Amino acid sequence: MNAATLPAEHNTFHRTERQAAVVRALQAVVPAHALLWQAEDTVPYECDGLTAYRERPLVVVLPETEAQVAAVLKACHALDVPVVARGAGTGLSGGAMPHAMGVTLSLAKFNRILKIDARSRTAVVQAGVRNLAISEAAAPQGLYYAPDPSSQIACTIGGNVAENSGGVHCLKYGLTLHNVLAVRGFTVEGEPVTFGGEALDAPGLDLLPLVVGSEGMLAVTMEVTVKLVPKPMLARCIMASFDDMRKAGDAVASVIAAGIIPAGLEMMDKPMTAAVEDFVHAGYDLSAEAILLCESDGTPEEVEEEIGRMSDVLRGCGATAIAVSRDEAERLRFWSGRKNAFPASGRISPDYMCMDSTIPRKRLADILLAIAEMEKKYGLRCANVFHAGDGNLHPLILFDANDPDQLHRCELFGADILETSVAMGGTVTGEHGVGVEKLNSMCVQFSAEENAQMFGVKAAFDTKGLLNPGKVIPTLQRCAEYGRMLVRAGALAHPELPRF
């Protein structure tokens, strides 16, 4: 066994001795100011956006050149030291949580946009470039980068590649996978590797879809070539109110069934609407049980025709009120609440845990009614906001992490949502990744044989299991133990992980 598979307390090296050895090795390949290992310096890296689970890394390294990244990987590989690559730390599944006996590799300094090519409608950017910065740089050319996670002001393209991130407009324009042409980086041994390319196809096996969404387990991303799309001539948004959750869910399915693919199709339930309205004053109907935001973009003629068709479908499904944005300012105001759902939730609760499952669109009302029953079962509130068009849920469970019992119930609540989603024909994750948060739920969705196949893919890239170990793919032992937990009921979802 190696350092990636041994818990810290059983590692053959004492933490202090291990740390000293790693620091010595890395001091030979990066400047002194690029290394952090004192407790006060490494604490800021102990978690990502999922703050319920924390671990302090052995060492944090902030390389400044690709040669330094390669050298760090080679040094860690030689010492059998785990490496966890980190971007902006905005992830919500614990994918960037450090390894207690490993190195956190920060790519924050790789933040340059290398090329904007208006003729080919592409951009070449380093992994640490913010998502929104790509669109800002391409705007003078009348172009933008379509995937738009709510965290786009801060999240980085390298993290988007790791999680296959989505966003409000991904129903029409696709996820990260559909908007990336090439990923260049390093293997765990520090060897350069490229997936995909700028041409229509690349020679050999098509490994780009394998790497996008691999959560940092197969390679370290350094540079990404993304597609750019023309900014639409016009965009308008419908805000529709419903007095019944099932009517709203049926309306989503009916819009898609009518052959309409909106630029965005989002839903918020009444608790979420109240939270965001108090925060941004978007003009939402506080009496509605659910609100739909349906956007159309394109030429003025296309938008007018599509807005009309969608409005007819929504009225036919029982919408109690329909408002259509009259100008760009009003469109942005309609969206401001949806875009600020997470910070708005932070104003009404000390903590929240954002889940990320998917279900068939026709089951939207069913899952929301099930979540309402779970609120009673676990004694916690839950506000719901989600990409309704593609069935990607984002229930935000509200709790106080300083209360161990609330954290305990929150974990059980989250696992219940994920497993109910699977039972309804969905998946345990849509765009936030598995990380550590959904490891147990992976045992519910995938068989032992399927998990073994995923481990086989991991081993083909990383024989020693050093890149982001202990994430995404549950072991047979974990799944067996989780099965026993389900029988016993009431056990912590992740008893082995350090908490607040």
Q: Which helix (H) or strand (E) is 144 found in, with range?
A: strand 143-144
Kindly tell me the sign of the dihedral angle through the C-alpha atoms of 413, 407, 3, 26.
positive
* Rama region for 218: left / alpha / beta (φ>0; ψ in -120 to 50; rest): alpha
Judged against a pLDDT cut of 60, whether residue 12 lies above it is answered with: no
User: What would the two tokens of residue 285 be?
Assistant: 């109907």
Residue 195 lies in a domain: yes
CATH number (domain holding residue 444): 3.30.70.2740
Residue 249 lies in a domain: yes
- Report DSSP letters for 225-272, one per residue: EEE-EEPPSEEEEEEEEESSHHHHHHHHHHHHHTT---SEEEEEEHHH
Residues 26 and 53 in one domain: yes
Residues 195 and 135 in one domain: yes
pLDDT tier at 490, thresholds 50, 70, 90: low
Domain count, the chain: 4
Residues 354 and 420 in one domain: yes
Judged against a pLDDT cut of 70, whether residue 9 lies above it is answered with: no
Mean pLDDT of 90-102: 96
Cβ pair 99, 76 in contact under 8 A = no
Q: Report the first-to-last Cα separation within the chain, whole angstroms.
A: 29
Residue 130 lies in a domain: yes
User: What would the two tokens of residue 52 be?
Assistant: 């319920």
Q: What is the pLDDT of residue 199?
A: 84
pLDDT tier at 6, thresholds 50, 70, 90: very low
Name the domain boundary from 203, 230, 257.
230
Mean pLDDT of 171-179: 97
Which amino acid makes up residue 342? F
CATH number (domain holding residue 19): 3.30.43.10
DSSP 430: S
Q: What is the pLDDT of residue 316?
A: 98
Mean pLDDT of 399-403: 92
Judged against a pLDDT cut of 60, whether residue 13 lies above it is answered with: no
The pLDDT > 90 percentage for the chain reads: 88
Q: What is the pLDDT of residue 480?
A: 86
3-class SS string, 7-65: CHHHCCCCHHHHHHHHHHHHHCCCCHHHEECCHHHHHHHCCCCCCCECCCCCEEECCCC
Residues 225 and 239 in one domain: no
Judged against a pLDDT cut of 60, whether residue 378 lies above it is answered with: yes
Q: In degrees rounded to 5, what are phi and psi of residue 293?
A: -115, 120
Mean pLDDT of 432-443: 95
**pTM metric for this prediction:** 0.92
Residues 389 and 460 in one domain: yes
Residues 101 and 118 in one domain: no
pLDDT tier at 90, thresholds 50, 70, 90: very high
Residue 3 lies in a domain: no
User: What would the two tokens of residue 43 be?
Assistant: 């604490």
Q: Which helix (H) or strand (E) is 193 found in, with range?
A: strand 192-196
DSSP 351: E
Q: What is the pLDDT of residue 200?
A: 79
CATH number (domain holding residue 135): 3.30.465.10
Residues 122 and 240 in one domain: no
Q: Which helix (H) or strand (E) is 454 found in, with range?
A: helix 448-461
Residue 153 lies in a domain: yes
Q: What is the pLDDT of residue 482?
A: 85
Judged against a pLDDT cut of 70, whether residue 451 lies above it is answered with: yes
Q: Which residues pair with 35 in a beta bridge?
A: 61
Judged against a pLDDT cut of 80, whether residue 5 lies above it is answered with: no
Q: What is the pLDDT of residue 488?
A: 57
More reliable by pLDDT, 477 or 184: 184
Q: Coil, helix or strand for 216?
A: coil
User: What would the two tokens of residue 456 be?
Assistant: 């086989």
pLDDT digit string, tens, across residues 34-82: 999 999 999 999 999 998 899 999 999 999 999 999 999 999 999 999 9
pLDDT tier at 487, thresholds 50, 70, 90: low
The pLDDT > 70 percentage for the chain reads: 94
pLDDT digit string, tens, across residues 260-310: 999 999 999 999 999 999 999 999 999 999 999 999 999 999 999 999 999
Distance (Å, whole) CA 380 – CA 372: 10
Among 117-131, 319-333, 437-451, 475-489, where is mean pLDDT lowest? 475-489
Residues 338 and 429 in one domain: no
Cα 70–Cα 76–Cα 79 angle in degrees, nearest 5: 145
Residues 130 and 225 in one domain: yes
Which amino acid makes up residue 201? D
Residue 96's contacts (CB-CB under 8 Å, 6 or more residues apart) are 47, 48, 84, 85, 86, 87, 89, 104, 159, 216, 435
Residue 499 lies in a domain: no
Distance (Å, whole) CA 173 – CA 168: 10
Name the domain boundary from 299, 320, 342.
342
Name the domain boundary from 306, 323, 342.
342
pLDDT tier at 2, thresholds 50, 70, 90: very low
Distance of CA 351 to the CA centre of its chain: 18
Q: What is the pLDDT of residue 494?
A: 66
User: What would the two tokens of residue 153 be?
Assistant: 């002001």
pLDDT tier at 8, thresholds 50, 70, 90: very low
User: What would the two tokens of residue 217 be?
Assistant: 């387990």
Q: Which helix (H) or strand (E) is 385 found in, with range?
A: strand 381-387
Q: Express the helix, strand and coil content of the chain in percent, nearest 5 each.
A: 40, 20, 40
Residues 326 and 202 in one domain: no
Distance (Å, whole) CA 213 – CA 385: 22
CATH number (domain holding residue 291): 3.30.70.3450
Q: What is the pLDDT of residue 201?
A: 80
| Helix intervals (H) in 139-227 | 157-163, 170-173, 208-211
When the pLDDT of each residue in the chain is averaged and rounded to a whole number, the result is 93
User: What would the two tokens of residue 234 be?
Assistant: 């016009």
* Rama region for 261: left / alpha / beta (φ>0; ψ in -120 to 50; rest): beta
Residue 498 lies in a domain: no
Kindly tell me the sign of the dihedral angle through the C-alpha atoms of 217, 220, 225, 230.
positive
Residue 2 lies in a domain: no
Judged against a pLDDT cut of 80, whether residue 426 lies above it is answered with: yes
Distance of CA 357 to the CA centre of its chain: 11
Residues 221 and 239 in one domain: no
Q: Which domain holds residue 117?
A: 113-230
Judged against a pLDDT cut of 70, whether residue 318 lies above it is answered with: yes
Task: Identify the CA nearest to 279 among candidates 294, 293, 268, 266.
Answer: 268
Residues 373 and 403 in one domain: yes
pLDDT tier at 326, thresholds 50, 70, 90: very high
